[in-house]
Amino acid sequence: MNNREGMISMLTDDGSMVDFFVLEETRINGKNYLMVTDSQEEEDGECYILKDISRPEDSEAIYEFVEDDEELDFLYRIFLELVSDMEIDLKP
C-alpha cells in the first residue's frame, strides 16, 4: 500500500494498483479503520471500509476490505456519525 495525503493506493490480487480517497478514519478496539471511496469528484462513487491488519513490525499498513456483514453494519453506523457534518450522502 502506498499512502499520499488523503489517498491510499492498494495492490490488487492481479498486481494492479487501485487508488482510494480517504473520507474518514477511526480506531476501535485497537484496530484502525478507514472509510474510502473510489471517486474524489462530487459524482457517485463506491464507498468501502478497510481494516488495518498489519503487525507492529510491518513497515507499511496493510488493509483489507471489511466483508463480515455484522462488523460492516457496526462500522457503517460509526462512520455515518463521523461524517455527519460533511457534505457526504451515504447510502447502505
Per-residue model confidence (pLDDT) at position 28: 94
Per-residue model confidence (pLDDT) at position 68: 95
DSSP string, the chain: -EEETTEEEEE-TTS-EEEEEEEEEEEETTEEEEEEES--SSS---EEEEEE---TT-SS--EEE---HHHHHHHHHHHHHHTTTSS-----
Q: pLDDT 10s per residue in the chain (92 long)? A: 545 568 888 888 898 998 899 989 999 999 999 999 887 766 677 889 999 999 989 998 889 999 999 999 999 999 988 887 776 665 55
The C-alpha cell at 43 is: 459524482
pTM over 0.85: no
